[in-house]
Amino acid sequence: MTRFLRAAVCLATLFAGVADALAQAPIAYALSFPDRDHRLMDVDMTLGDLPAMPLQLLMSRASPGRYALHDFAKNVFDLRVMDAEGRSLAVAHVNPHEWDVAQHGPQVRVHYRIFGDRIDGTYLAVDATHAHINMPSALMWVRGLEQRPATVHFEPPPGSGWRVATQLMPGTDAFTFTAPSLQYLMDSPSEFSAFSLRTFPVADGGRTPTFRLAVHHTGTDAELDSLTRDVERMVREARNVFGEFPAYEGNTYTFIADWLPWASGDGMEHRNSTIITSTSSIRGNRADLLDAMSHEFFHSWNVERIRPKSLEPFNFEDQNMSGELWLAEGFTNYYGPLVLERAGLTTLEDFAFAMGSAINTVLNSPARQFRTAEEISQMAPFVDAATSIDRTDFENTYISYYTWGSAIALGLDLSLREQTDQRVTLDDFMRALWRKYGKPGGLIPGYVDHPYTIDDVRRTLGEVAGNTAFADDFFRHYIEGHEVVDYERLLDRAGLVLRRTDASRPWIGVRFQDAQGARIAAAAPFGSPAYRAGLDRDDVIVALGNAAVPDSATLTRVLGAYRPGQQVSVTFDRRGQRATTLMTVGSDPHVDVVPVEAIGRQLADAQRRFREAWLSSAARNTF
């Protein structure tokens, strides 16, 4: 077979597979809420054209964009499986998240009820005001039928006025939607409520996608109108990084928000939508809500379409481990505030503060000596909304890949700008990744046909920088190594000062809680004064020198009289024993970043030019 012929046969087989799936009955879900006051949803599934083999019904253990296991099956009850005539079929519960039906005909109906009471990006929440549905937490699926399309009907409670906000495709009526595959269905969280809706179009070459804000909140219409104007500025500015919007399926992108005092704070990205939840409100914390929206929207390029091979396709049955979250999450975490700064929606001080806190964490965390940014990324299954009942030592062995990744993005952006006199920037790198890996898209909505590997990223950086050695070097030292760039020198280019916040302040490295005295609240960082003195979590300090310290406020006051380098004897209680140790007080290593003007220095012309090229808007002119 020639290469051409082989490709033709492959494509034909793939299209035949898709065509077969389309010819078969879609998996039909009907969601109803007769017991919504009690946080319950009723689910009815109708399955047709089933192959003559055991039917395997599954609840997911993982949700796209979330990396820890969640075992959503725990909230399912009252499961019944019936034939087309309504007769019960025998079901075997073969493992915690799978039910098998050995004997069945081509048609099967499944009914179950499910409890859900957590409003965030991962779970199901049902109450009198809404059904907030993250699909993997709520919908069963059938192994082997992952390519079948699905329909989802939302049954509105009488008199509720509920409507549906979702990235699912429109169906036969306002309450019925479709998904082309299981991957797309599971990626399509839906808010079913009497939410407030705002929309705006943005022209983009030949397309004009519509952006929707569906907001379930306790605020006013005027507050939402004003926020929507800011979101439009952010959306236009984010587009300028890549030069175009992705081709959103359905030509719409939907921000779904639940800003309610009884929600849990979260943000979760999806292909054509995002879920943003918060206990706060537009009036209470507009800056944080905008920051979350900017971050999640940037994901519609970076991770949803520019996607690491390690996450494609997403595995709903197990943990999803990726060594590239420093790029997928970390670079997104850099661009979230950067886009807001360029759009004029934050102050330079805010942006500098955000960069300064990331640098501070990365510079001072002991974890950097044990793990690289790549290895930290691979810990996501243990830290991303993960729960464990045993204690961990993550204060010492883990840095968030959001934080370290954003510090790497800042370092790479400034390094590229410095060595090319601003001709090449991180925006160019993101655009190159977009053109090679994101824009080509996927044959089936919900899939990415050209996911990247770490070597692809390294090679692309070399191409964009016009310097392979630079790319290899940057990766070896800062991504696959343990070093950090020279932030002080790089930031100075833009007239930003990286400085020790207060090196004269005495510091011992641990924080305290008042629990029968001043109790050390978390693991002592490796190498800190407390660590070297042999102190650690749960030790209760009762005296410093001759001064008794009955509580943490007294401890802070007494410690404040010492100077860095001085020694102090520490008397402490540990698990029933009293002991004394000698501790050398350290100097506070905390750093921050401020504009030179803020500390009374002059901004040089070269610094002003550098800063403007980096932080000023390319979109402002288009308003």
Site for Zn ion, rule CB under 5 A = 329
Residue with Cβ nearer Zn ion (451 or 506): 451
Shortest CB 329 distance to Zn ion, Å: 5
Question: Shortest approach of Zn ion to residue 330 CB, angstroms?
Answer: 9
CB of 437 to Zn ion, least distance (A): 18
Cα–Cα distance for residue pair 482/368, rounded to 1 Å: 6
Decide whether 191 or 329 has the Cβ nearer to Zn ion.
329
Nearer to Zn ion, 191 or 269 (CB): 269
Closest among 546, 543, 537 to 575, alpha carbons compared: 537
Least distance (Å) from Zn ion to the CB of residue 301? 12
CB of 530 to Zn ion, least distance (A): 33
Contact 344, 615 (CB under 8 A): no
Q: Nearer to Zn ion by C-beta: 398 or 531?
A: 398
Give residue number: closest CB to Zn ion. Answer: 329
Rank residues 120 and 329 by Cβ distance to Zn ion and give the closer one. 329
d(CA 308, CA 524): 35
> CA 239: distance to chain centroid?
20
Distance CA 273, CA 167 (A): 6
Between 142 and 448, CB nearer to Zn ion? 448
Q: Cα(first)–Cα(last) distance of the chain, in Å?
A: 56
Q: Supply the minimum distance, in Å, between the C-beta of residue 274 and Zn ion.
A: 9
Q: What distances in angstroms separate CA 91 from CA 46, 114, 145, 268, 400, one per listed residue?
A: 16, 18, 19, 34, 43
C-alpha 98/C-alpha 59 separation (Å) is 7
Cβ-based nearer residue to Zn ion, 66 or 97: 66
Q: Are strands 496-500 and 591-595 parallel, antiparallel or unpaired?
A: antiparallel
Rounded to whole angstroms, the Cα distance separating 510 from 194 reads 47
Q: How many CB atoms lie within 10 A of CB 37?
A: 10
Instruction: Give Cβ neighbours of residue 77 (< 8 Å, ≥ 6 apart).
Output: 112, 113, 114, 115
**What is the nearest approach in angstroms of Zn ion to the Cβ of residue 65?**
7
Taking the complex as a whole, how short is the minimal distance between the CB of residue 339 and Zn ion, in angstroms? 14
Given the DSSP bridges, would you call strands 150-154 and 27-32 parallel, antiparallel or unpaired?
parallel
Q: Which of 403, 351, 433, 407 is nearest to 615 (CA)?
A: 351
Nearer to Zn ion, 180 or 405 (CB): 405
Q: Give the shortest CB-386-to-Zn ion separation in angstroms.
A: 16
Alpha carbon distance 422, 419 (integer Å)? 8
Q: How far apart are CA 477 and CA 483, in angstroms?
A: 6
Our CB check for Zn ion shows the closer of 230 and 329 to be: 329
